[in-house]
Structure 1
Amino acid sequence: MAEKGISAEIISVDLEEERLMDLVDLNPYGEIPTLVDRDLVLYDSKVISEYLDERFPHPPLMPVDPVSRAKARLVVYRIERDWCRLLMQFDSADSETVAALRKELWESLVASNEVFASGTPFFLSDELTMMDCALGPLMWRLPHYGVEIPPSSEGIHDYQERLFALESFQKSLSEAERAMRA
């Protein structure tokens, strides 16, 4: 949303609070994120992201041609399945499981250093894309969860530096997210 200059009212929801009932009225799963745009209610981050990219087409975050779009969707799917899935388990896992998750995530990211060092400024692209939008929050949270990328993984460090320096990325951070790196 920040990259596209979309203004929005963001309502934080504690899933244990009274507001959860309001959320369940909008979204049968009571999950976040949930987007309300006039009479339209959407949930699932991928559905929301693609809707916003189509509704606000400039700058585009997905390729124009169907083959490239499909490939980008597959990369986002893999980011979410291979990396985000692991990170999402940290908060509810015991310390032994967290250590195993941390190791698995660390190994997978470090093994992908060459992909990050592909010679393009963004993830597999010369332009910021939906792939970066999926990766950014994950990369930002790594130190908070004790996943330290080694200095030898220069491709990852350079990518993070470029992504985190974007004004739109900085605008997109919540106070809680800023506190993760304070």
Structure 2
Amino acid sequence: MIVLYEHPLSPYVQKIKIALREKGIEFESKAPEFSGGGFGGSEFLQANPRGEIPALLDGDAKIFDSTIILEYIEEKWTEPQLLPSNPLERARARTIEDVMDTYYEPINWGLGEINFFGRAKGELAETIVGNAKEQAAKCRQWLTKQLGDREWFNGDRFGWSDLCIVPHLNLSSTVFGIALEANSPLADWFKRVNVRPSVAQTLQEAKDSLAGLDQFSHLIEQGLFKREYRDHRLEWMIRMGGLQVVLDGIEKDNIRFSYDLA
């Protein structure tokens, strides 16, 4: 049985779960332990020494990084095919994935820092949230162009691009209230994609996990769990006007950067 170390709210986790379910692959979900201010546990850290979710165990194979896991799934279980056959369309799908994972993901992540964990208050919070909404709107305009007159981002059938987009837009819409423009092509696609069984089940698990965020808030306040400010997230928070958020987190020792590999 495949083991997936995960947290249901993570968009990186969600795209893996959707892919596995689309291909009919059974898997066991596990939550990593809390260790050293982040995710830990010996089996988990053996699979991903960076201490980041998701991590996939398939027999002796231990794989981390959501894109690499997705590629492994696609190459090992070839049907149904999630990547397009055309090389140019494959490149387009991977571009969309990268944009969502590095440009859109920190929007939701940063809004979580404000709304769930109270990293900023008052005028500073309003500035960061306002900038986040402007950036989200621009990204959605770009996505609308990518969709064009297609039924799916992947073309004539659901695939790689779609499963990489939907977790991020679901977080924005259902958790942070950034609604899609009504009756727009993007909104119509959003309705279609969310009724797919693989997506609906994954979305429900994410919604159910919201009730457990209180434990993270308490752990963060005590410095027992540290949110990871890495690469695109760190850049985003500073660009959105939240340098003081980063400095406060460093002073309180409740943020962290990437672990060294061991």
Whole-angstrom distance in 1 between the partners of 2:176 and 2:34: 21
Identity of aligned residues (%): 23
Root-mean-square deviation (CA), in Å?
2.4
Do the aligned partners of residues 46 and 5 (structure 1) sit closer, same or farther apart at CA in structure 2, a change above 3 Å counting? same
Report whether the alignment pairs 1:151 with 2:182: yes
TM-score (norm 2): 0.61
Which is richer in strand?
A: 2
Q: Match of 1:35?
A: 56
Q: In the alignment, which of 70, 73, 85 is matched to residue 64 of structure 1?
A: 85
Aligned length, in residue pairs: 178
How many Å apart are 1:167 and its aligned residue? 1.4
Letter in 2 for 1:162: R
How many Å apart are 1:31 and its aligned residue? 0.4
Q: In the alignment, which of 4, 11, 16 is matched to residue 30 of structure 2?
A: 11
Q: Which moved more, 1:86-95 or 1:13-22?
A: 13-22
Whole-angstrom distance in 1 between the partners of 2:209 and 2:47: 29
Q: Match of 1:113?
A: 144
Where structure 1 has 5 or more consecutive residues not aligned to the other structure, the ranges are: none
How many Å apart are 1:169 and its aligned residue? 1.3
Do the aligned partners of residues 75 and 107 (structure 1) sit closer, same or farther apart at CA in structure 2, a change above 3 Å counting? closer
Q: Deviations over 1:28-74 (max 9, x none)?
A: 10100000000011111100011101111100011234333223212
Q: In the alignment, which of 75, 80, 84 is matched to residue 96 of structure 2?
A: 75
Hey, which bits of structure 1, 4+ residues long, moved more than 4 A? Answer: 14-19
Whole-angstrom distance in 1 between the partners of 2:140 and 2:105: 11
Where structure 2 has 5 or more consecutive residues not aligned to the other structure, the ranges are: 1-19, 115-119, 211-262
How many Å apart are 1:174 and its aligned residue? 5.1
Q: Match of 1:130?
A: 160
Do the aligned partners of residues 134 and 14 (structure 1) sit closer, same or farther apart at CA in structure 2, a change above 3 Å counting? farther
Q: Please identify the structure whose Cα radius of gyration is greater.
A: 2
